[in-house]
């Protein structure tokens, strides 16, 4: 069985977005939020029971990496967006550029303060 961690869940979220070729980004006042896959989708992707991932989402909320929005889903906070963009930039840059384009990605990274 996979040893779960916050870092693994963020990496899995990016891989799901790449697999589905869909990244939902919301632009708000001086912040960017990225929609996280559902807890059930992450559990399915990682091949673990759903209830295994739930404590990690509680931790991620406590660490102010994600927030749950009623009827919207799980969104990254500014801190979580920076973490996710950092993973995209260092580990999946080519794939991300293919989906959203280099210029758009660079602008998103700049707004997340990722050099």
pLDDT digits (tens), the chain, 115 positions: 678 999 999 999 999 999 999 999 988 778 899 999 999 999 999 999 999 999 999 999 999 999 988 888 899 999 999 999 999 999 999 999 999 999 999 988 888 876 5
Per-residue model confidence (pLDDT) at position 1: 61
| Sequence ranges of the domains in the chain | 6-111
pTM of the model: 0.91
Closest CA to 32 of 89, 96, 114: 114
User: Rounded to 10 degrees, what is the CA torsion of 62, 63, 65, 70?
Assistant: 10
Rounded CA separation 17/96 (Å): 9
Residues 58, 54: Cα–Cα separation, whole Å: 7
CATH hierarchy code of domain 6-111: 1.10.10.10
């Amino acid at each position: 069985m996979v040893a779960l961690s916050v870092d693994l869940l963020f990496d899995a979220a990016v891989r799901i977005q790449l697999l589905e070729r869909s990244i939902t980004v919301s632009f708000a006042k001086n912040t960017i939020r990225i929609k996280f896959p559902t807890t059930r989708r992450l559990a399915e992707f990682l091949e673990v029971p759903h209830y295994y991932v739930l404590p990690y989402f509680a931790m991620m909320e406590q660490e102010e990496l994600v927030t749950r929005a009623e009827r919207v889903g799980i969104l990254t906070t500014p801190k979580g967006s920076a973490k996710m963009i950092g993973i995209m930039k260092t580990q999946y840059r080519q794939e991300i550029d293919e989906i959203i384009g280099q210029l758009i990605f660079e602008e998103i990274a700049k707004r997340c303060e990722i050099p």
